[in-house]
Chain A
Amino acid sequence: MHSFIRSNTHVALRLPSGLFKIIEITPNTSINLGKFGTVNSNLILGRPYYLTYELLDKDDGRAKTELRVVPASELHAEALGSEHAPVAETGEETADGEAGFDIVGEDGKVIMRNNRLTVDDASRQKLTMDEIEELKKAGTGSGKDIIARIMASHDAIDEKTSFSLAKYTLRKSRKYLKRFTAIPMDVGVLTGYVLEKEAYKIMELREDLLGLICSWANVHCGATTRVQTAEDGASQIGGGRWLVVDDTGGLVTAALAERMGILYPDDDDEESEEELAEAVEADQQQNGHTDAPQEPKPNESDTAMPDADAATVDPTKASDPTADSSHLLSLPRKSPRPHIPQMSAKTNTLTVLHPNNQPNLSYLKYFGYDYGAPVPSHPLYKHLKSLSWLSLLHPEDDPQYDEPELISDEVLATMKSSKRGTYYRKRRRWERVKTVVDETRAGGFDGLVVATAMDAKTVLKELVPLIRGGGKIVVYNPNVEPLVELCDYYSKERRAAYIAREFGPPPQTPRQMNGKKHKYDDDAETNDSTTEGGFEEDDFPLNPTLLLAPSLQTARARQWQVLPQRTHPMMTSKGGAEGYLFTATRVLPIEGRVEARGHHGKKKRKVGPEIAAQP
């Protein structure tokens, strides 16, 4: 998917300063690179990613701005050069008797210069601010000239140690080199970009933690996973379906989707060569419509509309029991274009729970998915489902869950087309909402990923029962305290107390029970076990027996500089939230009192019965 730069996709351009500029690239437009000038998008379209370009403009004798690919050897010249001649600098000015501040070899060669005589004074740079500004205005080439001039006019450039000289050059390059690198827009780049600008919007979630989340949630592609149902025959178990609570604007969702193979529009990389060839011979004019990802667009925008002109669209779908196709066949007029039901995939899906009417998944736009106006060809169209907390917990209170009145075909035929359109749109929305809500309430998800500012215990109380046995639970929080509290609700002492209270007498016939049923009961009818002790809610806000091995962890990647003889960790990096992960496995406890076995120290505890004292 990232074999070359396609039009109408987002591209991250990294400037010499290390900052990213994210643009949506369209043909025949100019890209503004700030102080470095502008570039026509056609100069980078169709080219591979990760190339570094240098801007060549009129000052280099070009009529228009052009780009030169900077070869890797040139990018690494500095680092490689200093390596192959690591210490071979002969300081003439220091050779005479001024030993003592340099480390000199036996043959008088300076092995290592030190910085004892370095003068920290801005006045050593002869060029004034104004002169540099003038140089910049004069626009001498790719910036290399400016750097050369600056270096040349530094009073004591030879006094610098080779390392500090390298640093100096690097600093100047960052400022003046007119280069940029085109980087594909992926979750890692997006994370870095947002962290730099508005970290709070993604709960300061770093890439290292995203990796951990994906691993512990056991997220993977489930496109070919079997569709299997529970004993009741209706609710699905597994199937590569994950539940998500995402307050990071869609970043977590994007990371999970990337692992499931549903984040990027389905472009065939192998077509690229062919496409290029075709394009060369054939087309000139509609260049926007020539490349592979472009082609579906015209059709898509039509089919995305059916909500508007629904008369032409067939709302039947295989999975929908209520849809009645017969009345649609009677519709004459235009040839029916089938409707692609949104959120209709049965496997490999993400179900996002959101606190507002609409989920906030705005970062998905960088991957070509606009939640407000989704394109049916995007995999997320069918594989990303969403529902609000209201629909999950009290669907009866959600108007969208109410079935719109069914109108008979005869009546329908007499209606105006716009009205008929509205009717179908409503029906279809209801079908979608009903399918998603019913599926979600039936549970059996493979895992739960939570990154929310909400109180995690209230989230887990509702969602843990919806996870299948052996499913994974992952809760991210930028701060440790909420998760420490969460761990405490699942502590072994509390679990022991919970079991003791729930199933006081020793077991007669332990029977298998899924905590899910338990939870549902208290929604439907007042369950005795939850209402008996009034202190239940406070002491046991969660059923501690439903999760196994709750753990708390964190990880941080520490970046290093690797240069010949100058390898060390970076001097500074970003602070802020450390970021923590709570992980656990959903299990199906045996109802009843279970005696643990094993050695728990010599003394038998007096209180806190020895139940479930394992992990």
Chain B
Amino acid sequence: MAFTPSPFLDPGTHASANNLGILQLRRDQLIPAILSPHAESDYAEGKVENTRFGSFPHSTLVGQPWGTQILASVVDTGSRGKSKKRKRDGNDEGEDAQKPDAKEAKRDLVKAATASSGFAHLVPPTPETWTLSLPHRTQVVYTPDYSYILQRLRVRPGDHMIEAGAGSGSFTHASVRAVYKGYPGQEDTFNGTDDTPEEAVGVTKKRKRSQRHGAVYSFEYHEPRARQLQVEIKAHGLDPLVTITHRDVYADGFCLDDSTGPDADAIFLDLPAPWQALPHLTRSPLTSAALQSVSTDPSTPNPAATSDPTPSQPFRSPLNPLKPIRICTFSPCIEQVTKTVSTLRTLGWVEIDMVEIAAKRLDVRRERVGLSEEGVRGGNASAATVQEAVQRLRDVEGRAAVFHSLQKEKQEEVMKRAEARKRGENVGEIGNGKKKDKVDGVPPGKQDRLEKVKKELESRTLYKEGRLVHRTEPELKTHTSYLVFAVLPREWTGEDEEKARKKWGKK
């Protein structure tokens, strides 16, 4: 079987079976699904995603180009839970395609019939869409935070990265994308032309000893979470790039059990007590003095956990010895930050910087104000201008005046008639003709106005009326976490300096 790269990294042109696809219903409503039309299912159509915008059998998704608008299908959701017989009987759509055996239906699915309404879009998974749709197990690191973190950590293709506190895996996915530089073992086959000319030119480039592929080393001390993440990573085709280890990094550090250390260039710690993990992130074994100052630090509540460098084993650093190492810790509370920063200072990290990210999304809408909005959805029916208000007042006053004069007239008439009756005269029907005249002169009443608005609405273009405004989204994340950044330079000994001095010695 041909190797299929993860849809996160190289989605291909179409959604394919047994890969992750995302059904986007609304901006923030996304349904992730491993597309498996032939999986065991109670539905005649095979596996189905049921949403409030309709049902989408996987068979209608697989093979579609990414980004396609998918129409909902008619799926008999009602009889699913009932006996298989009932289900088969009660289906009017693909009756002829029905097979008596549910197992056989796996191969011979009912062709889904397009419903009259409802749709969704089939989009390829990205760390962003995954972050919006993943099953929450812990607090999620959202896009504004992880994008800034990865930017500041200068994570580049081919880098190795340590992530501790994998949590729900949103950061894991984002960092895999950042370090990805092909799968291990998979060379630039498609870009074979890439290398040849360079060599032909005679660029005296030594064969690289080992092409460094990006890798993420993820640690999680909560075992079910670690296992769940492992399952997800595998399902997403990212398992060759991510190593998930279930471990308490405070106690056991970051070196893997087999001798291939993480050799990390960047570190992200989403832990409750990052300062307890920091002593494991050094280039050389901690001197007892340093260890002392870290562990006697009154802010470290559990010194026992940190001062456990397992003296029996030879020291191994989880860090890449050749590059400056960048770290980011992610802590919601300021007290955690203070402790982390002072530990970083003690351990020789430099360029220490702490920031918080304030991100917001904006809603854009059109604000329509005016008396003509009366009874129209989404409009504000107060007067748009002073003039409009004055006109309305005049109308009201005018109506009142007419009304009063009418009343008066009526009264007079009644009086007259009464008098006439008294006098025994015959009373004609004078009122009718008069009424019509009245209506003409009277300013419009509410009923008239509403009718008029309704009529005009037919020809209005609401999408471009009113004032274009923007405002912050209704629910705001005002604080996520504090981000502490630091850099650990390469180790530089007197010996190294001597060498460099010789090489670059002044002539």
Contact = CB atoms under 8 A, between A and B. Distances in A.
A interacts with B:
yes
A470 interface: yes
A17 B313 CA distance: 45
A345 B345 contact: no
A496 B324 CA distance: 53
Interface string B169-207: 000001001101111001111110110011011111110
B253 interface: no
Contact of A539 (B358, B377, B464): B464
Contact of A72 (B143, B158, B348): B348
A123 interface: no
A484 interface: yes
A155 interface: no
B470 interface: yes
Nearest to B192: A318
A559 B362 CA distance: 23
Contacts of B53: 596-598, 614
Contact of A558 (B114, B337, B358): B358
Interface string A253-279: 000001111000000111111001101
Given A80-B346, A224-B182, A557-B148, A27 B504 contact: yes
Interface in A236-264: 237-238, 240, 258-261
A542 interface: no
A564 B360 CA distance: 31
B323 A2 contact: yes
B243 interface: no
Interface in A591-615: 594-599, 601, 603, 605-608, 614-615
A188 B193 CA distance: 32
Contacts of B341: 562
B231 interface: no
B24 interface: yes
A468 to B, nearest CB: 7
Interface string A285-298: 00100100001100
B85 interface: no
Contact of A238 (B10, B119, B214, B482): B10
Given A280-B499, A337-B201, A549-B26, A228 B357 contact: no
B52 A338 contact: no
A83 B322 contact: no
Nearest to B472: A554
B350 interface: yes
B507 A4 contact: no
A188 B152 contact: yes
A12 to B, nearest CB: 12
B124 to A, nearest CB: 4
Interface stretch (B64-72, B89-97, B400-408, B416-424): B64-72
B225 interface: no
B302 interface: no
Interface stretch (A40-48, A88-96, A354-362): A40-48
B144 A212 contact: yes
Contacts of A186: 154
A329 interface: no
B384 interface: no
A210 B148 CA distance: 8
B70 to A, nearest CB: 8
Contact of A220 (B115, B147, B177): B177
B345 A76 contact: yes
A42 B65 contact: no
Interface string A559-570: 111101001000
Nearest to B122: A470
A22 interface: no
Contacts of B364: 484, 487-488, 491, 552
Interface stretch (B32-40, B104-112, B452-460): B452-460
A75 interface: yes
Contacts of A529: none
B355 A560 contact: yes
Contacts of B117: 594-597
Interface stretch (A163-171, A172-180, A579-587): A579-587
A73 interface: yes
Contacts of B430: none
A226 B10 contact: yes
Interface stretch (A49-57, A410-418, A419-427, A448-456): A49-57
B282 to A, nearest CB: 12
A208 B148 contact: yes
A323 interface: no
B397 interface: no
A346 B191 contact: yes
Nearest to A497: B463
B415 interface: no
Interface stretch (B160-168, B272-280, B386-394, B486-494): B486-494
B359 A555 contact: yes
Contact of B506 (A42, A238, A271, A557): A42
Contact of B338 (A272, A318, A564, A595): A564
Contacts of B357: 208, 555-558
B147 A215 contact: yes
A603 B191 contact: no
B133 interface: no
B505 A472 contact: no
A462 interface: no
Contacts of A42: 504-506
Interface string B363-381: 1111000000000010000
B297 to A, nearest CB: 9
B409 interface: no
B323 to A, nearest CB: 5
A337 B345 CA distance: 54
Nearest to A556: B358
A80 B468 contact: no
B128 A319 contact: no
A51 B496 CA distance: 14
Nearest to A70: B350
Contact of B470 (A72, A340, A484): A484
B446 interface: no
A328 interface: no
B150 interface: yes
A371 B122 CA distance: 39
A197 B180 CA distance: 34
A216 B128 contact: yes
A560 B504 contact: no
A601 B9 CA distance: 39
A557 B485 CA distance: 12
A488 B342 CA distance: 49
B444 interface: no
A218 B182 contact: no
Nearest to A545: B69
A598 to B, nearest CB: 5
B43 interface: no
A558 B203 contact: no
B463 A493 contact: yes
B432 to A, nearest CB: 36
Contact of B203 (A28, A377, A548, A615): A377
Given A280-B499, A585-B67, A299 B204 contact: yes
Contact of B193 (A73, A237, A240, A319): A319
B186 A580 contact: no
Contacts of A376: 198, 201
B345 A79 contact: yes
Closest 5 CB pairs of A and B: A469-B67, A211-B151, A261-B157, A470-B66, A597-B118
Given A224-B186, A299-B203, 17 more contacts: A3-B490, A50-B490, A207-B148, A208-B151, A220-B177, A230-B13, A268-B208, A270-B208, A276-B500, A276-B503, A299-B202, A487-B364, A548-B24, A549-B26, A553-B362, A590-B69, A598-B53
25 contacts: A3-B324, A48-B324, A48-B489, A80-B346, A214-B147, A223-B191, A224-B191, A226-B5, A227-B190, A258-B154, A299-B201, A340-B201, A344-B193, A470-B123, A548-B67, A552-B470, A555-B359, A556-B359, A559-B355, A580-B362, A586-B67, A590-B68, A607-B457, A608-B463, A614-B53
